[in-house]
Structure 1
Amino acid sequence: MSHIHAMSDDQVTAELRKMTAFIRQEALEKAREIHLKADEEFSIEKSKLVRSETARIDSEYTKKNTQAGMSQQITSSTLANKSRLRILSAKQELLDGLFEEAGKGLEKGQGKSEAVLKGLILEGLYALNEGKVVLRCRKKDDGVVKKAAEAAKKEYKEKMKGKEVEVVVDDKERLAEGSSGGITITNGTGKIDINNTFDERLKLLETDALPSVRATLFGENKNRKFRD
């Protein structure tokens, strides 16, 4: 029979302690590894979150900065447009005032100028080039218009190598007494009408002379098309 040495209780206890210590050490190392791994992953995730949040803040700042710039541009443009409109309005008021004063001047003076009326009648005679024309004027201008018509007939005959023209002042249809005066010239059939009233001529002057007036008053290029 072989002799089997039995372990004493102290030996068994010592062995258990060694095994327990070994298991505990392995557990501690495993826990340390897990802790280090967790710290590493936390650091990586934290860096990702920081980068993501930084990028979001940068993007938000850029967006707000762009919006602020656009808002500033819109405000500046709005103010510039308002200023431009005020300037244009003031210019137009001045121009309207000038032509209004010119119209008042016509009412006071040129309605009775025989030389001016003669020129307007001649213009109609040359344009129509007919044997008879009819003039219409204000009733109060009858006398000066008839004198101007006689002078125009004479000059027309001279310039047209003896061609006669009959000029009749209409005593039924008149220009309004409230108008600035002048005349309308109609051919014998009444189908062709030339408006040479002072009101109409002032309108034409306002259109034709406006670029020069603007250049004189405001220093603008008179060759530029008027678009205001």
Structure 2
Amino acid sequence: RVWVHVDIKHMMAFIEQEANEKAEEIDAKAEEEFNIEKGRLVQTQRLKIMEYYEKKEKQIEQQKKIQMSNLMNQARLKVLKARDDMISELLNEARQRLANLAKDPAKYSGLLDGLVLQGFYQLLEPKVTVRCRKQDVQLVQVSNLLICVCVRVCESVLIVNYKYCNTSLSGIELYNADGKIKVSNTLESRLDLMAQQMMPEVRVALFGANPNRKFMD
């Protein structure tokens, strides 16, 4: 009986030891798997955080580029507007000088002669209507150049209307008999035509050549 009792105790001690070792092995494996999984999760979250901030950084950089582009466009528009304002001031000054020229009878009479002559040569019609300012009717009628042009260019010239449609503009307008062909030789129209033709040269003279312009015609 004593022997049996000792044998059972040894067996129980062996089983308990084996169980403890197995438990320790399970604990160690579980700890290892836990550490692996924890490392994997940490690495995954770390990558996610890095991706998040990289994305945010790109968004911020893109926003900076957009804001910079908007600021540059606004600055460019302000420069263009300032240039247009300067050109408008020059044209207004030229208009004022033309208005002053129209107040000088001697100079204005000679100018009207040239405008009438050019208008007749442009129309080359046997009957022409000349429209002018009311105060310019006498200058147009008594112009020796007008009489000369009537004889040389046209068989006959019929001036049927001296009331100009816009009395604020100096110069003349000429029409053929049915009014379908018009030559505008007002000082305003001549200034606009000259400004349109010379605008590229004016811009270069005022602001320098445009480095982005590839073609000069």
User: How many residues are aligned here?
Assistant: 211
The aligned runs of 1:1-228 (5 Å cut-off) are: 8=1, 10-110=2-102, 112=105, 113-148=108-143, 150-154=144-148, 163-177=153-167, 179-221=168-210
Residue 46 of structure 1: SS of its match in structure 2? helix
| Structure 2 length-normalised TM | 0.86
| Structure 1 length-normalised TM | 0.82
Deviation at 1:169, TM superposition (A): 4.3
Residue 109 of structure 1: SS of its match in structure 2? helix
Alignment deviations for residues 24-67 of structure 1 (CA, whole Å, 9 cap, x no partner): 11101110110111012112211211221121011112101101
Residue 180 of structure 2: SS of its match in structure 1? coil
* Residue segments in structure 2 that go unaligned for 5+ positions in a row: none
Q: Does the aligned pair in 1 maintain the 2:129–2:161 contact within 8 Å?
A: no
Residue 58 of structure 1: SS of its match in structure 2? helix
Could you tell me the percent identity over the aligned residues? 37
Residue 94 of structure 2: SS of its match in structure 1? helix
Q: Aligned letter for 1:136? A: R
Residue 130 of structure 2: SS of its match in structure 1? strand
After superposing the two structures, state which structure 1 stretch, 81-90 or 199-208, moved more: 199-208
Deviation at 1:167, TM superposition (A): 3.9
- The structure 1 segments of at least 4 consecutive aligned residues displaced by more than 6 Å after TM superposition are none
Deviation at 1:90, TM superposition (A): 0.9
Q: Does the aligned pair in 2 maintain the 1:131–1:166 contact within 8 Å?
A: yes
Deviation at 1:184, TM superposition (A): 0.5
Q: CA RMSD in A?
A: 2.5
Q: Aligned letter for 2:189? A: E
